Amino acid sequence: MLERLSQFSVCLVLCAALGACGAPPPASEETPRSSGVATTGAPLRLPISLNALMVALVNHAADPIWLAAWRTPESDADWRNLERMALQLEVAGALLVVPGTGPMDDAWTADPAWQAWSNRLRDAGVHAVDAVRARDLARVASAGDEIVDVCEGCHIAFKPDLPTEGMFGELSPTASDFEEEAPVPE
């Protein structure tokens, strides 16, 4: 039951996010927009902490976008995958304004500066989506730069030294991970 409620909450947020991107509004009712928090009924709450969302969604989706700058997507499948990652980043930005189960989540999401950084992540995600759909690597790279600025900006303002729930991201691979292995002398 709880789980289904949570899924419903996420669905509401997704709908709000999509609506903000130009989908036609539902015929009758007015839907709350932009803050991502419902004005009636129980406030939305994600079923996981924002720390977990950061690791499982934000960081996970951002890595392939950065990597694409030097490891050019080759097949249609590569590009489709990149498009999905960019969409995930856009949605992650939209979800970040909703508190989850982490100890600091309510305080963070109530802060207008937090909301502004989250919106900027969502916008950077939109730029990445557009760039990927245009299959324009230079624009993918500049969307990647924009994304880095947003991650850094919000982390400088809000991120504690140690994650509140102990969830760390993996270390991102670097360029050298994709270079040909030098032949090992016998």
Q: Is 124 exposed, middle or buried (0-12, 13-18, 19+ CB in 10 A)?
A: buried
Residue 163 tokens read as 């994650």
Tell me how many degrees the CA angle 177-178-182 measures, rounded to the nearest 5.
85
Going from the C-alpha of 119 to that of each of 126, 133, 157, 167, the distances in angstroms are 11, 21, 15, 23
Residue 124 tokens read as 């950077």
| Shortest Å, Cβ 138 to ligand HEC | 20
Considering only 17, 44, 57, 58, the residue that binds ligand HEC (CB under 6 A) is 58
- Least Cα distance to 25 among 15, 12, 11 occurs for 15
Considering only 24, 112, 160, 183, the residue that binds ligand HEC (CB under 6 A) is 160
**Contact track, ligand HEC, 32-51, x by CB under 6 A:** -----------------xxx
- Least Cα distance to 129 among 85, 162, 74, 181 occurs for 85
Query: Nearer to ligand HEC by C-beta: 16 or 95?
Result: 95
- Name the closest residue to ligand HEC (Cβ): 169
Q: Does 151 bind ligand HEC (CB under 6 A)?
A: yes
Q: Does 59 bind ligand HEC (CB under 6 A)?
A: yes
Q: Does 100 bind ligand HEC (CB under 6 A)?
A: no
Any residues with CB less than 8 A from the CB of 129 and at least 6 apart, and which? 83, 86, 87, 90
Q: 55, 169 in Cβ contact below 8 A?
A: yes
| Shortest Å, Cβ 150 to ligand HEC | 5
- Of how many residues is the chain composed? 186
| Shortest Å, Cβ 153 to ligand HEC | 7
Q: Does 143 bind ligand HEC (CB under 6 A)?
A: no
Query: Nearer to ligand HEC by C-beta: 16 or 61?
Result: 61
Q: Does 118 bind ligand HEC (CB under 6 A)?
A: yes
Residues that bind ligand HEC (CB under 6 A): 49-51, 54-55, 58-59, 62, 96, 102, 104, 108, 114, 117-118, 121, 147, 150-151, 154-155, 158-160, 163-165, 167-169
